[in-house]
Homo-oligomer: A and B are copies of this chain.
Amino acid sequence: MQKKNGTTPHRPSIYALDPWTPGKPNDQRRYQLLSPEEQMRLATIASIMRFRKGELIYRQGDEVKAVFNIVTGVVKACQGVGPTDEHIAAFLYPQDLFGLSEEGRYVCSVRAVTSVTVYALPISALRRHLSSDAQLDYNVVVKLCHELREAQRHALLLAQRHALTRIAMFLQLQEQHQSILDEASDEIYLPMTRSDIADFIGISLPAVSRAFRELTTRHVVKFVDRQHLLIADRPAFDALTRNLPSRGQLAANEA
């Protein structure tokens, strides 16, 4: 783990869909919440940190010293009752925040899935800002609403009974995240291992493998390599997530 202070081409930045403002679909700013001034202000209290692939960033139960903002890379937040079983509560991407805590202790362990670069925002300094800067607070509220919706979508995924449905919903989530960050490259990238996917969607590792196999043999998806795939049959793919195939598959528009 390396650590350095200093200027970089990046600044702390936070992505979120606004809960209250009706759709602004063509906004080029892509929902970047922080104004340049706020980014500067946060940069003064933040320190850049880097972690290599697989490295532990902090452990569940550790005393909270900082909240993190991802610049590049992907991390996973793990929760477990026992030391053995590890459930993955979330994957986090650039422009996300992590470091959720309860009474001064982290509620999840967090590990780097790829090599990552993050800003560490010490909570002591952060709390000072939060109690004085209403605009920053508002942005944090917006971001937390966003994360809450994400957590609920995850729960919705986990409530599905079929492995194929879960995988399909998972791929949709991935696709969304990438459409935010990358330019539209209809290829879906899976930075995490199959085992991570299994722990995230709540099925066994062999079941993940079989589900991907099933999708491949049905020609719904096509794997370029183990980490890259294409949706080969979009209607069939979408049909997997509109469960209850009884009826009503009319392409009604929502959102």
Contacts and interface: CB of A to CB of B under 8 A. Distances in A.
Interface of A: 17-23, 61, 64, 79, 81-85, 87, 89-90, 100-105, 107-108, 123, 127, 130-135, 137-138, 140-141, 144-145, 147-149, 151-152, 154-156, 158-161, 202, 241-244, 246, 248, 254-255
Nearest to A19: B101
Nearest to A200: B159
Contact of A151 (B18, B135, B152): B152
Which among A21, A108, A155, A243 has the highest number of chain B CB atoms within 10 Å? A155
Contacts of A131: 134-135, 138
B19 A152 contact: no
Contacts of A17: 102-103
Given A20-B101, A141-B130, A202 B243 contact: no
B242 A23 contact: no
Contacts of A18: 103
Contact of A144 (B20, B123, B141, B243): B141
A83 B248 contact: yes
A104 B22 contact: yes
A107 to B, nearest CB: 6
Given A155-B158, A244-B82, A104 B20 contact: yes
Contacts of A141: 130, 137, 140-141, 144
Given A138-B130, A144-B144, A107 B152 contact: yes
A148 B149 contact: no
Given A84-B246, A100-B145, A130-B134, 19 more contacts: A19-B101, A19-B102, A20-B101, A20-B127, A22-B105, A23-B103, A23-B104, A79-B152, A82-B244, A87-B155, A100-B152, A107-B152, A130-B137, A134-B137, A140-B141, A148-B148, A151-B152, A158-B202, A160-B202
Contacts of A134: 130-134, 137
A147 B148 contact: yes
